[in-house]
Amino acid sequence: IRLEQELEYAIERNQLRLLYQPKFDIRSGLPIGYEALIRWDHPEHGEISPLRFIPLAEKSGMIVPIEQWVLRTACLQAKRWQAGGRDPLPIAVNVSQVHLMKPDIYESILDTLEETGLDPRLLELEITESAMMHNEEHVIEILDQLKGAGISVSMDDFGTGYSSLSYLHSLPISCLKIDRSFIRKITTDKDSKAIAEMIISMARQLDLKIIAEGVETSEQVALLQELQCYNVQGFYYSRPLPPEQLEREQVS
């Protein structure tokens, strides 16, 4: 209860910040985009993981203003990188199920893009497979609107939910993110490898982009290359970093 109340003031008290984790093409070794990941610096408890406070925020409804703050901050950061002369790369933010179901989410996202001046083509929304399983017709309608505006949507944590092939086919998404639980065991467990392989070939058939999450070793990279999954995200390439550090390390 206490944390939940304190979260209400976290934005105005400047306790939230974003880290950015680059995504890479393993063939060129170059970054292809970034995912914004939230952190809460609590004055007494130190850094609190989103795994802990996002569920609280979803319960209280605070997730909506929090993710609006995330979106605005990430868009401004992307604009700043562009202004600094970097190649414009897409920036991804996570959108929770509670936020996705807000009736005015589309208008609110467009307002933020307009206010920050970010090209909608440089914005990606990551929505978990399980979040997309609620109220499927409504989800399709919202995603259609977003796509019409040039915003792309990725299905996050793919392989952990239960989307049917027909639903997957009817969703206007552009990318599947293979859940890191499969990648973790991809070189040691033949079932995990088989599942990853199946997801990769299905994505190809459905004309979807594919990215592997949680890549931590060179063995995993080599295997993914063999399976022709060339886009990756994970500690092997880069941890989520504060923007200043990302700039210093020139992965931006």
Binding residues for ligand G, per CB under 6 A?
21, 37-38, 49-51, 54, 67, 70, 94, 96, 126, 156-157, 180, 213-216, 233-235, 240
- On whether the CB atoms of residues 30 and 243 are closer than 8 A, the answer is no
Q: Which is nearer to Mn ion, 54 or 118 (CB)?
A: 54
Q: Which is nearer to Mn ion, 6 or 33 (CB)?
A: 33
Under the criterion CB under 5 A, does residue 126 sit at the interface with Na ion?
no
Q: How far is the CB of 22 from ligand G (least distance, A)?
A: 10
State the alpha helices, DSSP H only, in the chain: 2-10, 50-60, 63-83, 97-100, 105-116, 136-148, 165-170, 180-184, 190-205, 218-226, 243-248
C-alpha–C-alpha distance, residues 67 and 69, integer Å: 5
Name the DSSP letter for residue 22.
E
Under the criterion CB under 5 A, does residue 157 sit at the interface with Na ion?
yes
Q: Which is nearer to Na ion, 6 or 156 (CB)?
A: 156
Sorted by sequence, the CB contacts under 8 Å of residue 63 that are 6+ apart come out as 54, 57, 96, 98, 99
Under the criterion CB under 5 A, does residue 156 sit at the interface with Mn ion?
yes
Under the criterion CB under 5 A, does residue 126 sit at the interface with Mn ion?
yes
Under the criterion CB under 5 A, does residue 156 sit at the interface with Na ion?
yes
Beta bridge partners of 158: 178
Q: Which residues bind Mn ion (CB under 5 A)?
A: 94, 126, 156
Q: Which residues bind Na ion (CB under 5 A)?
A: 156-157
